[in-house]
Chain A
């Protein structure tokens, strides 16, 4: 078992949630309660990482932020390190790849709240911000938690982008899924097997947790 790789995977999953959840709550709420021009395009853009091969994202990130691009060189000068092949770069890639996993469940959660509830709250004199914090977010909480769990699980399973943008650097960008590939190539089937089983257990547990949570949402809706 490659504990360092597990740590990188967990940190990547946690970091992705931290970055993405506030954004997902904001955008999910916006898409659920507002109608605006270009909403269709925004919804399509939110979903696009779901259908694109990870190599497309990897390609664009490397071309944009690689050491040979002007933007990558500027980043290197300012921050002192390059974005690809670093944990931070992986975090960026992971955040982009996970947008649909965060926004969609949260949007559905907010949509499930009847508008009457918000109207009633407005009648009681609650400001829009108070309504959001005291009505919307608490009611949609199971969906938000579902989004967080899905993001975490999906990040653990991410492979293509991680290998392309992160390389395979131990302690930095070698996640558990990459470590499995690495162990396979080193004919270490035992090592690969232990890690594969770990990921399998985590994935099943995640999906079970998500199902339980979405049932709670369904009950409230009915």
Chain B
């Protein structure tokens, strides 16, 4: 009797599993839209640009967001991206030096950093970080969010700003490091930190400003966040078209709206 039941169950598992595998394999990789790797600060701007691109060109691109360093490592390890929009110049330059890109690429935007405090936070934000400094002296900073400087250019910029204001050593033990600038922004926006240094583009994203207050950091306070993009060696026609589209007027308008400076 058990034997009977057993065979019946095994049959139904096969019936369940096989169609799944077949359905999955049914998407031929040649027809898949190209996958674009992008720095996390572009989470909203690039999604909007891709939507416009799809409307105008009728083709789609898939996007993967992460810290520039993490994405660079993945590209070096063979990740099948066709284009990479970094948050700095160093990571894409590394890739072109290694022969993994089509050419040296182009700077498509210059980013800004902002200090953000969620609603109900004791932190008063200002562009010179005086409020942060006061709060730190009073021992009121429990957690402060920045992106991990090792993998995220915006984290590196945040470190430079904190050092310039003499706050790096004071705050060091209080820092929570996001895997990417998006995660750092999430820590700050959800009130899990008294505030954070995040990408201005993320602060301007839909729904974000209602979560708290912010001040834009003067760009002179940190090395410029010149963001370079490159086509990778496996880039196809759609990726190339998208690369051109990001440099076009429509995309530049979106980037400007989202707080980026756009090179001429």
* A interface residues with partner B (beta carbon < 8 Å): 7-8, 10-11, 14-15, 17-18, 62, 66-68, 72, 76, 81-82, 84-87, 134, 137-139, 141, 145, 148, 167-172, 182, 184-187
Contacts and interface: CB of A to CB of B under 8 A. Distances in A.
A182 B78 contact: no
The 10 closest A-B pairs by CB, nearest first: A67-B78, A82-B78, A141-B6, A11-B24, A138-B3, A66-B77, A185-B182, A85-B79, A14-B17, A14-B20
Contact of B80 (A8, A168, A169): A169
Given A148-B13, A168-B64, A169-B64, A134 B3 contact: yes
Interface string B50-71: 0000000000001011100000
Nearest to A18: B17
A172 B78 CA distance: 14
A20 B107 CA distance: 48
Q: How large is the interface on B (under 10, 10 to 19, 20 to 34, 35 or more residues)?
A: 35 or more
A111 B205 CA distance: 59
Interface of B: 2-3, 5-6, 9-10, 13, 16-17, 20-21, 23-24, 27, 32, 35, 40, 43-44, 62, 64-66, 74, 76-80, 180, 182-183, 185-186, 189, 205, 207-208
Contacts, number: 96
A164 to B, nearest CB: 9
Contacts of A84: 77-79
Given A18-B17, A172-B80, A187-B186, 13 more contacts: A11-B24, A17-B13, A68-B77, A72-B77, A134-B3, A167-B79, A168-B64, A168-B66, A169-B64, A170-B62, A186-B43, A186-B182, A187-B189
A185 B47 CA distance: 14
